[in-house]
Amino acid sequence: MRKLCAGTVATIETKLEAQKESDAAEVIRLEQEEAKRKADEEREKREEERRQEDERLAEARERLEKTKKMAEEQMAIIRIERELEAKKQAYSDAQRAAGIDVDDACEDEGSDSSPEDQPVRH
């Protein structure tokens, strides 16, 4: 009976030791899975943050380009206005040089009445 008990105890101890090793291996596997899951989550979080930052940068670039284009267009408008003023001045100077009364010409241009209604000037 002693041998039987000793054999049973030895078998149970062997199985218990094998279960402990199996449990330890399972704990290690679960820890590795958890570590991998956390690493994946962190990677995905960094990728999402990077994507959002790229979006913000793209929006900022777009706003900058629009602002730059508006400034260029404003400069073009100012340049065209200056050219127009210079042409008006040249036209006015040419009229004066030709002896045309600039004030009379301006008044006639602004009138809505027909030429028949205009008083005759001598």
- Asked if residue 45 is part of any domain, the answer here is yes
- Asked if residue 88 is part of any domain, the answer here is yes
DSSP string, 68-118: HHHHHHHHHHHHHHHHHHHHHHHHHHHHHHTT--HHHHHHHHH--S-GGGS
pLDDT at residue 108 tops 80: no
- Tally of domains within the chain: 1
Q: pLDDT tens across 3-43, in order?
A: 778 889 889 999 999 999 999 999 999 999 999 999 999 99
- Asked if residue 116 is part of any domain, the answer here is no
pLDDT at residue 116 tops 90: no
pLDDT at residue number 102: 55
- Asked if residue 48 is part of any domain, the answer here is yes
State which residues form the domain around 39: 2-94
- Asked if residue 119 is part of any domain, the answer here is no
Q: pLDDT tens across 40-84, in order?
A: 999 999 999 999 999 999 999 999 999 999 999 999 999 999 999
- Asked if residue 21 is part of any domain, the answer here is yes
- Asked if residue 115 is part of any domain, the answer here is no
- Asked if residue 99 is part of any domain, the answer here is no
pLDDT at residue 117 tops 90: no
